[in-house]
Amino acid sequence: MLYSEINLSIKEGIAVITINRPEKANCWTEKMYGEFAQVQKELNDNPGVRVIVLTGAGDKAFCAGIDLSLLAKVNSDFVRTKIGSLHQIHNGWETHPRPVIAAVNGACIGAGMELALSCDMRIAADTAVFSIPEVRFGLAPDMGGTQRLARLVGPGQAKRLILTGKRIGAAEALNIGLVEEVVPAGALMDKTMEAANFIIANAPLAVMYAKKAINLAGESSLAAGLLYEEMASTYCCGTEDKNEAMASYFEKRPPQYKGK
């Protein structure tokens, strides 16, 4: 499918989605939300995709939030009728069967930061900046920011960032656990692809179930999480990939996984 506000490229199992509005700091539009919903389905239906990378076009912004033309339309009726479906876009990356990496190449603001929070990991350029400033516009974060940020960095840090609207740099984001790695801006995509290829080297079903189990850890009791681990492990032990992993280890060769 052709997209107008995002670009999609797929190569050697890695799908790269680039928000393609650099002249507008890659800000969200309503059309872009629709394209994200479609690309999620397209990638979910493509068994050749093993890892997904989200980034922004240019070197200035990952995503600087909602476009002002869309923000001008936001009122109580808009939120009541639209917010549930928009939440599903962010939820869709968090629950997607493939791991999703945010390559944060610049300003990561508001709804853009909430997008990054919905990814499985965040690798940031050393020039990246982060802010969730909705309170400055008389709004509360409504795309999962209060929930995911608090789970990621703890309620104290989440309140510090959300209630002040403060902007922080990549080094501070790494220090509080908002991002997992900071790299030189010129090396961002190389480092992101390196991380993606480490994931691809592993058995795809095992990766999928491990992601689901980690997500469950933040939402359930320990007993429920351990039960899920038991079920996932039982399933994985019966797969062809598990047998291939053992055979390749003893035969001292790279494994050839089939996702079966």
Burial label for 125, CB within 10 Å (0-12, 13-18, 19+), is buried
Smallest Cα–Cα separation from 182: which of 197, 170, 196? Answer: 170
| Vertex 135 angle, CA 132 and 140, to 5° | 85
122's tokens: 């965040």
- Per the CB < 8 A criterion, the answer to whether 53 and 17 are in contact is yes
Pairing of strands 181-183, 121-125: parallel
169 pairs with which residues across the strands?
Answer: 129
- The residues carrying an active-site annotation are 114, 134
- Measured CA to CA in angstroms, residue 59 lies from 4, 101, 133, 136 at distances of 19, 17, 21, 26
211's tokens: 């992601």
- Per the CB < 8 A criterion, the answer to whether 26 and 64 are in contact is yes
Pairing of strands 51-56, 61-63: unpaired
